[in-house]
Amino acid sequence: MNRRQLVGAGLVLPFLLMTRPARAGAKLNEDVSIVDRAALNELLDLSLPDLSGAAVSLREAIDGRLAIVNFWASWCAPCIREMPALDALHKKQPSVSVVGLGLDTVANIEAFARKTPVSYPLLTAGAGKIALMRKLGNAKGGLPFTLVLDGKARPLATILGEIEMDGLAAFARQHA
């Protein structure tokens, strides 16, 4: 490769990287051996405030249905991008319970909900629950993180990163 080709490649490559489609969503990880059972019980026993300030038990929010528990924060762009699709799934599949656990301040979650309302409950877990989230199969502590539970609150799958929604919807239909 001569100098002219190298310079040309140097000008074209950044443009190609900027214009490529967004990466596909994260896939379901059905190896739930990474989910610490004691941490899952701790999560299910929590009573967290909803947007009205009422304490909500996650176990009650699941209500015996397939549950999609989504850890998110108002400053997390991938979290925000996937919320409309989670909302659509919640509306389209009544046999599925979607719950958003905000690892953020109450004020930030309330402000976000005013701009981008969703039909599923948003509970305030706060940044202090990141350690618990790590024990639930998210060793990296990244967001968004989603835990899929069956109707008896047993883990079925985890998703680290922005959800590949078609795959999650199909999985939900199959397991609901």
Q: What is the identity of the amino acid at 148? A: V
Average pLDDT score over the chain:
87
Average pLDDT score over residue span 136-146: 96
The helix (run of H) or strand (run of E) holding residue 14 is: helix 3-19
**Which tens digits make up the pLDDT trace of 79-106?**
999 999 999 999 999 999 999 999 999 9
**Which tens digits make up the pLDDT trace of 5-19?**
433 434 333 333 333
Looking at domain 24-175, which CATH architecture does it have?
Answer: 3-Layer(aba) Sandwich (3.40)
Give the 3-state secondary structure of residue 29.
Answer: strand
Residue 28 DSSP code: P
Give the 3-state secondary structure of residue 98.
Answer: strand
pLDDT at 24: 59
Global pTM exceeds 0.95: no
pLDDT at 89: 96
Residues 105 and 113: their CA atoms lie apart, in Å, by: 12
